Chain A
Amino acid sequence: MDQLPDGPLRWVLLGALAVLLLVYVLLLLDLRRAEVRHLPKWVWGLIIVLVTFPIGALLYLVLGRIPAAERAVAQPPPPRGEDRIGEAPPEVLDRPAPGAPATEPTWGRGVSPASGPGTTPSGSEPVIATQALSKRYGDTLALDRIELTVPRGATYGLIGPNGAGKTTMLSILAGLRRPSGGTLHLGVDRRRLAVLVDTPQFEPWLSAREVVDLARSLVAPEFGGAEVDRALREVGLADAADRRCGGFSRGMLQRLGLATCLVGDPEVLLLDEPSSALDPAGRREVLDLIGRLARTTTVVLSTHILADVQQVCDVVGVIDHGRLRYQGPLTDLLARTCAAYSVHVRGDERAFATALAAEPWVSEVETLAPGRLRLVTADAADAERRIPALVAEHGLALVSSVPATDLETAFLELTR
């Protein structure tokens, strides 16, 4: 203390020292509570204390500390088990399909990758078509001569296990990655093609309205602000329009992402695993929204959740180890494999079960509970036509008849 200068300078120096110590203490207290990135907390602590002030403090604040607004975004996704719930409702298979109706497909049956679907069999030009599209990462062939054809107006489900090449495929379609070989034909202006990544994120300091308005100004500047409000209303975020999206849940971010896609009135929507990170309620909301969008827009969605595909898609492509194993209407895929149905009737089901077992299109019948049966059939179309008739013949009331493991079976047959 004696070495400190006298007069006002002494107090200036002591004050500066006190402020410095206070800053260190506050930073370390903050470090204890905050979430950090890039390095473990203890390393950031060392950086704050040991690296010359204010370099260490700045490094921590700018590079290490995750701001509170971003923390909600950085939360881990819910366990996968939660995703795989719910069955496709019975109306799914009867849903009119824009590109390929379930009963009478307009562009034919499933095609093998080698058949080169440059146009749809109905003659209309596909909205997306690839020829021998390949992508190589070093020695790994992520995509192997893919011949993808997406009919205009279809809801195309690109399904496959994790690591099959779905995201790579969508990234190439979106223009975010370049193919190593082959060609890609887009039947629309790229600006009319909207992309939603699997876990959309936005600048956490922007409000939902600002995010959608940014998307509007980039893809459709001719549209007014009313379009932004319409998109937010469409996805159910009108009430949260002025909230900063840093505090949004994953479901809200997913809906916000969809709003950014909607605002430009796109012709094609590319959705990468749109429901994989959502809880059941969020997943339901997003699928309902996709179902509504599919009425007016060509949708390509990649997923490994087969129930989602069954719920919203009319055309599917099965991709595995970078190769397209199947492409065509969903109904064709289901029809060419064994399908299972869960039938719920009101009344004595025993005679009905015996009659079912005698039908040539039924390969297996199992009574799960009173009034509840599970049957396996080799012909889904026959099953859907005949089950209600058989129920009526036996004087029973049909509560429900829903597909059980159908697409999963088909998928496993194609990919094993």
Chain B
Amino acid sequence: MSLWRLEILRMVRTHRWTILAGLYVFFGVLGPVGARYLNELVSNFAGDITIIVPDPRPVDGIAQFLSNVTQLGVLAVVVVGASALAVDARSEIAAFLRTRVPRSHDLLLPRYTVVAATSMLALVLGTGVAWVLTLPLLGELAVGPMLLGTLLGALYLAFAVAVVAVAGAWLGGLLPTVLASLLVLLALPVLGVVPQVQPWLPSHLVLAVVGLLEGEEPSAFLRAGAVTLVVTPALLVLAGRLLGRREL
């Protein structure tokens, strides 16, 4: 029983993977269906008022999926991540591990990797479902932008889990870790109101797939991708240091 297997078992036996996968798949179904029938829904509920909704395009299926899943998906990732990465949340279990694991990074790395990988797979799964349903309901989507955009979205989730790792190592408790992580992840897009800052923010990657499908150049996400690639490992190093310094 290695620390890696421990984390895989945590994900499987506590059914946390089903929360993540279920949520992304649920919105993966809802997105294209919602986009396809939005016109009918609005006209039925509008009564006497005439609302003109443009005909849905294939990209709307994915856009609808992402707009639904962005906040709830990140919330689920944060909660699931915190339950693994707030190592000291239960001091008795933490004492068992911390007196046997020589370096804090050894403890942190499997937890981070398993949570991040599961989150990324859930996003890929949800996007895949949305893509498959978009095809008959709304039409074809370009393969290249879809793959690249999904990859960039997954990269953002890796960053989000690293934020949770830092919050968990710093604050220890489950609830403080969730709240602090959400604060950071929700506050980050606010910085994007400054046009010069926005292309550098990891949160710029969340809707990259939509941007790419609508014709934006991949280079538009290069800076955000580079920042995320640099910041994520840096956050993990910081989390390891904070955890190592933390007294139980």
Contacts and interface: CB of A to CB of B under 8 A. Distances in A.
Contacts of B1: 210, 213-214, 216-217
Given A176-B98, A201-B93, A171 B75 contact: no
A6 B79 CA distance: 39
A63 B178 contact: yes
A193 B99 CA distance: 9
Given A4-B44, A174-B99, A213-B1, A62 B79 contact: yes
Contact of A55 (B44, B72, B80): B72
A62 B44 contact: no
Contacts of A257: 96
A394 interface: no
B174 A63 contact: yes
Interface in B1-44: 1-3, 6, 9-10, 13-14, 16, 19, 23, 37, 40-41, 44
Chain A interface residue count: which class? 35 or more
B90 A201 contact: yes
Contact of B100 (A3, A55, A215): A215
Contacts of B98: 175-176
A129 B47 CA distance: 83
B23 A54 contact: yes
A206 B92 CA distance: 15
B19 A218 contact: no
A5 B40 contact: yes
B187 interface: no
Nearest to A191: B102
A5 B102 contact: no
A217 B44 contact: no
Contacts of A217: 1-2
B99 A175 contact: yes
B6 A62 contact: no
A177 interface: yes
Interface in B164-208: 174-175, 178
B101 interface: yes
Contact of A176 (B16, B76, B248): B248
Contacts of B95: 174, 176, 195, 197
A150 to B, nearest CB: 17
Interface string B79-113: 11001000000111101111111100000000000
A321 B207 CA distance: 59
A190 B75 CA distance: 39
A194 B99 contact: yes
A185 interface: no
B100 A201 contact: no
A172 B3 CA distance: 25
B92 A205 contact: no
Interface in A163-212: 171, 174-178, 190-191, 193-195, 197, 199-203, 205-206, 210
A287 to B, nearest CB: 21
A412 interface: no
A74 to B, nearest CB: 10
Contacts of A195: 95, 99
B100 A58 contact: no
B13 A62 contact: no
A206 to B, nearest CB: 7
Contact of B92 (A58, A175, A201, A216): A201
Interface string A59-93: 10111000100000000000000000000000000
A201 B94 CA distance: 9
A5 B34 CA distance: 13
Nearest to B12: A205
B247 A176 contact: yes
A66 B98 CA distance: 24
B45 to A, nearest CB: 5
Nearest to A220: B100
Contacts of B91: 197
Of B14, B19, B95, B97, most A-chain CB atoms within 10 Å:
B95
A188 B150 CA distance: 51
A58 B93 CA distance: 24
B98 to A, nearest CB: 6
A219 B14 CA distance: 26
B92 A199 contact: yes
Interface in A1-26: 3-5, 9
A193 B72 CA distance: 45
A260 interface: yes
Contacts of A54: 23, 72
A218 B83 contact: no
B41 A202 contact: no
Nearest to A225: B1
Contacts of A58: 19, 75-76, 79
B174 A197 contact: no
Interface string B50-93: 00000000000000000000001001100110010000001111
A217 B5 CA distance: 11
B191 to A, nearest CB: 24
Nearest to A213: B1
Of B6, B16, B83, B91, most A-chain CB atoms within 10 Å:
B6
B17 to A, nearest CB: 13
B12 to A, nearest CB: 9
Contacts of A4: 44
Contact of A171 (B16, B40, B248): B248
A3 B10 contact: no
A3 B47 contact: yes
Given A62-B79, A63-B178, A206-B9, 10 more contacts: A5-B44, A9-B40, A54-B72, A62-B83, A67-B14, A191-B100, A201-B93, A203-B93, A205-B14, A216-B1
23 contacts: A5-B44, A9-B41, A38-B175, A54-B23, A55-B72, A58-B76, A59-B79, A62-B79, A62-B80, A63-B174, A63-B175, A174-B95, A176-B98, A191-B100, A195-B99, A197-B96, A199-B92, A203-B10, A205-B10, A213-B1, A217-B1, A218-B3, A260-B96
The 3 residue pairs across chains A and B that have the minimum distance between CB atoms = A201-B92, A218-B100, A205-B13
